[in-house]
Amino acid sequence: MSAIYASEKVDGFTRKSVRKAPRQRICQGSSQFAASSSGPAAPEISALPQLGDASSTQQHELFMQKLQQCCVLFDFYDTVTDLKSKETKRATLRELVDYVSTNRGVLVEPVYPEITTMVCTNIFRTLPPSENPDFDPEEDEPTLEASWPHMQLVYEFFLRFLENPDFQPSTAKRYIDQKFVLQVYELCIKGHFNGVAEFLEILGSIINGFALPLKAEHKQFLMKILIPLHTAKGLALFHAQLAYCVVQFIEKDPTLTEVVVRGLLKFWPKTCSQKEVMFLGEIEEILDVIEPTQFKKIQEPLFKQISKCVASPHFQVAERALYFCNNEYILSLIEENNAKILPIMFGNLYRISKEHWNPTIVALVYNVLKTLMEMNGKLFDELTASYKSDRQREKKKEQEREELWRKLDELRLQERIAIQNNRHEIQFTYSNNNNLHDKDENTAAAVTDRIESDTWAK
């Protein structure tokens, strides 16, 4: 026993699976906040006087001190140390958010590098690995990093900084440079869409401040980045902010409406009903701000897609498409262009009113048909008659096809019977020939025997 035990103890292969340490649960947090046994501890920070209590001459210096104080990072893996300093930093960040949001004249040039340094120190980090490989962004609630109580306020502060009326883009460009933007971008390309919603919210404020006419690079950003972003797997996490950015572009430059709508139609989801509902919601937001001249350019391809959505067997998709007619502005656009839109929509609407499985959808379709009939009764009657005649023609063609198939089946059956009869005749003839041949052979043998017997007798 001792010899066997010793060999197992030495052999690194036989006992490897037994000795393997259990996998530890990965904590949510950033690598920059990881505890280090040899590294220096974070310095303790003390609360500074409130900005509101300081005189106007002291506020600027105090503001700078608070920004520098917020550059101190803490170990969020350890939940028992630096509690007072962590709470002090969080309170300071809240105060900075309120200060930038409610005060004018605070964004002077020396503040820009301090703000940029504080933001970079807090948000640029190595992202932690996911603790749940089966995480579904459309179904599961996201697990926030342990440092999120501070990081959320930093994002909020940066947003208020960009929205401040005193914000000077020409000054900010020196510090919010290409490297800064690339680092922000790297936070979003890991496949988990970290912070994309917050980033798009900031971007919406930036788009709102674009000067007219829009620059070529701004339009290129819309078509090369924002529109293809609709294909992302985690679209549900940031679609509201993405749609807001797209609508902001259209409000700035209505001539972009056609390329935006055609881009959305190009990337329209084919198998995900939830995404399809989101796309329909975004289309309605676009139609709310569209100009009538731009509407005419996209009405045919757009309503062909809406007609397909109305005919969808998924009741939420059909319901969302039918709710377009509850929007008064969209309804007015349809009424102005009913000669183009009614023929596109009528066929599917009429068919769904007779065939859809969901009674709620059928009721909505009847309301839409009633509205369309009130718009243009003459055209509605013509489309009804045309649809019925087309259906009769289709039924007649279907009957003719069935009759043709029936005749083909009969011909095939007759051919099979004829082939079987021919086989029987061939077999019968062959058997008769064999019988005659056997008789001839027997007769010849008998004659031969008789001749031989006569010869021997002589």
Query: Residue 358 corresponds to which amino acid?
Result: N
Separation between Cα atoms, residue 247 and residue 260, nearest integer Å: 9
H and E: helices and strands count for the chain: 19, 0
Any residues with CB less than 8 A from the CB of 195 and at least 6 apart, and which? 123, 155, 187, 188
Q: Note the Cα 439 to chain centre separation in Å.
A: 87
Per the CB < 8 A criterion, the answer to whether 229 and 131 are in contact is no
Please work out, in degrees rounded to the nearest 5, the angle formed at the alpha carbon of residue 96 by the alpha carbons of 91 and 102. 125
Six-digit token string for 13: 């292969």
> Distance between CA atoms of 400 and 397, rounded to whole angstroms?
5
Cα 231 to its chain centre, rounded Å, is 5
The predicted structure's pLDDT at residue 91: 93
Contact 107, 166 (CB under 8 A): yes
Side chain identity, residue 199: F
Q: Could you give the CA distance from residue 238 to residue 235 in angstroms, rounded to a whole number?
A: 6
Structure tokens at 18: 């037994």
- Any idea how long the chain is? 458
Q: What angle do CA 401, 404, 409 make, to 5 degrees?
A: 125
Q: What is the largest CA-CA distance in the chain?
A: 163
Q: CB neighbours (10 Å) of residue 384?
A: 14
Per-residue model confidence (pLDDT) at position 424: 72
Q: How far apart (Å, rounded) are the C-alpha atoms in residues 258 and 290? A: 10
Q: What is the pLDDT of residue 12?
A: 43
**Per-residue pLDDT tens listing for the chain (458 residues):** 444 443 444 444 444 444 444 444 444 444 344 434 344 566 777 888 888 888 888 888 999 999 999 999 887 777 777 788 889 999 999 999 999 999 888 999 999 999 999 999 999 887 766 556 666 655 667 677 777 888 899 999 999 999 999 999 999 999 998 899 888 877 766 556 667 888 899 999 999 889 889 999 999 999 999 999 999 888 998 999 999 999 999 999 999 999 999 999 999 999 999 999 999 999 999 999 999 999 999 999 999 999 999 999 999 999 999 999 999 999 999 999 999 999 999 999 999 988 888 999 999 999 999 999 999 989 989 988 888 888 778 888 888 888 889 888 888 888 888 888 777 777 766 666 665 556 556 666 665 666 556 555 55
Q: Could you give the 3-state DSSP secondary structure of residue 269?
A: coil
pLDDT of residue 13: 41
CA angle 148, 149, 152 (to 5 degrees): 65
Residues 6+ apart with CB under 8 A from 284: 323, 324, 327, 330
CA gap 186, 126 in Å, rounded: 10
- Give pLDDT, residue 360: 92
* Structure tokens belonging to residue 452: 């031989």
The rounded distance, in Å, linking the Cα atoms of 403 and 194 is: 62
Euclidean distance between CA atoms 387 and 369, whole angstroms: 14
Burial bucket for residue 379 (CB in 10 Å: 0-12, 13-18, 19+): middle
